[in-house]
Amino acid sequence: MKKLLALTLALLLTCAFAFAAAEGGRSTCGDFTYILLPDGTACIADYTGEAAELVIPAELDGVPVTAIGAYAFSACRSLQRVVVPEGVTSLGASAFCSCAGLQSVVLPESLTTIGDIAFCWCTALTEVNIPLGVTEVGANPFYHCRLLVDMGVPEEHPMLAVVDGVLFDRVSMRLITYPETREADHYDVPAGTLAIGDCAFYKCTLTSITIPEGVASIGSEAFAECRGLTAVTLPEGVVSIGEKAFSACRKLEILTLPASLEAIGEDAFTKGPKTLVVVSGSWAESYCIARELPYTLK
């Protein structure tokens, strides 16, 4: 009789699991909701617990966990310390966004991908060590981590480098993160940099910055909310400026737009520079005219 009950229970569990898979692969195991990936592994989609210290399980219902999905732990305000297990290869966009109490995170050596603004608004996070195997980093993972003082990257890392406290992608020559905690009035972006990444300088305390020749793109929200910024030098050769790139830069009186510009995202200068300086007849002048933005010619 007991054997029959056990077999019946096992069958019911199997049917429930199959039903979940048929409904898009979403299943629940304790405080975790996960999705089955095509390779048969699990991606954590949601966490409903209230742990202060959490070691994320390496398996759920016997299925290996290989990914943390977008927004999976978003706004989990109870979290103070989290350990991501070995076997996880990717953190999705905003995976730990707005975990306001998160002070420490341990990332596994298996990790290869960190998604866009993965730890955005983790305002208590003070340090993080990025494993050697990470080969892909999205838009500033540490967007508005206002207490972050240490981004640990191995010197032999093939892709990433921390130079004077600033995180770079050494392959694409992209500036990824300028930490809010870096105390300086002026910053010279290093020669050889080709791109300023999305959200790279978000809410920085700089008053001035010099961008060198060779930089071709300024990412979305790259300098958004830099309310003390009074001077920015954009070199000839910059081709694109992303959405809200200089939004809310309230003290920025003048921004000179190079003749090389070919694209400017929406709201790039909203509540930002009071006057734009452009080359007569350039694409930038046409942009200003079309949007009725105040500008002067150089």
> Which residues partner with 63 through β-bridges?
60
- Which tokens is 286 given? 């046409």
Burial tier of 271 (Cβ tally within 10 Å: 0-12, 13-18, 19+): middle
Q: Is residue 123 within a helix (H) or strand (E), and if so which, with residue range? A: none
- Is 8 in a helix, a strand, or coil? helix
For residue 6, the model assigns a pLDDT of 39
What domains lie within the chain, and their CATH numbers? 24-160 (3.80.10.10), 183-298 (3.80.10.10)
For residue 233, the model assigns a pLDDT of 87
> Can you give the pTM of this predicted structure?
0.88
- Report yes or no: 113 and 136 within 8 Å, Cβ to Cβ: yes
User: HEC states along the chain?
Assistant: CHHHHHHHHHHHHHHHHHHHHHCCCEEEECCEEEEECCCCCEEEEEECCCCCEEECCCEECCEEEEEECCCCCCCCCCCCEEECCCCCCEECCCCCCCCCCCCEEECCCCCCEECCCCCCCCCCCCEEECCCCCCEECCCCCCCCCCCCEEECCCCCCCEEEECCEEEECCCCEEEECCCCCCCCEEECCCCCCEECCCCCCCCCCCEEECCCCCCEECCCCCCCCCCCCEEECCCCCCEECCCCCCCCCCCCEEECCCCCCEECCCCCCCCCCEEEECCCCHHHHHHHHCCCCEEEC
For residue 257, the model assigns a pLDDT of 95
Tens-digit pLDDT string for the chain (298 aa): 333 333 333 333 333 343 344 345 799 999 999 999 999 999 999 999 999 999 999 999 999 999 999 999 999 999 999 999 999 999 999 999 999 999 999 999 999 999 999 999 999 999 999 999 999 999 999 999 999 999 999 999 999 999 999 999 999 999 999 999 988 999 999 999 999 999 999 999 999 999 999 999 999 999 999 999 999 989 999 999 999 999 999 999 999 999 999 999 999 999 999 899 999 999 999 999 998 988 999 8
Q: What is the DSSP string of 155-203?
A: TT-SSEEEETTEEEETTTTEEEE--TT---SEEEPPTT--EE-TTTTTT
For residue 183, the model assigns a pLDDT of 85
